[in-house]
Amino acid sequence: MSDEEERVDELEEVATTVYAAIFDGADTVEIDGNVYPIKQTSKSKVRLVERGGYTYIEQNPHKDSRWAKLAKEGHQIMWVMQGRRYLAQIKDGKFLNLKWKK
């Protein structure tokens, strides 16, 4: 397995763990023996976790986008970001890699 494939697999594993915690309503999430708080943005109250330069954030249903519309309809959507770049998405439990080939 290449380094890139390992990176994608690790990202998917961590993202799936964070996704489950966010949508289960947890206050924290444990990753590799470390506990991270699940925070809320002050304005929109969407939940997020910051870890190792990545941000795992649920879709804001109050935005004007097709993803927000899906979130309003009850779909569970979370984004994985690094800075302002979208790297991956999980929608209804299904991981979608947006940047790297697997």
Residue 72 maps to a domain: yes
Residue 80 maps to a domain: yes
CB 74 within 8 A of CB 86: no
Of all helices (H) and strands (E), which one includes residue 6?
A: helix 3-23
Residue 74 maps to a domain: yes
Residue 73 maps to a domain: yes
pLDDT digits (tens, 9 = 90+) for 11-48: 999 999 999 999 999 999 999 999 999 999 999 999 99
Residue 17 maps to a domain: yes
Of all helices (H) and strands (E), which one includes residue 50?
A: strand 47-51
Residue 102 maps to a domain: no
Residue 7 confidence (pLDDT) above 60: yes
> What backbone torsions phi and psi does residue 56 show, to the nearest 5 degrees?
-110, 115
**Total domains, the chain:** 1
Q: Whole-model pTM?
A: 0.91
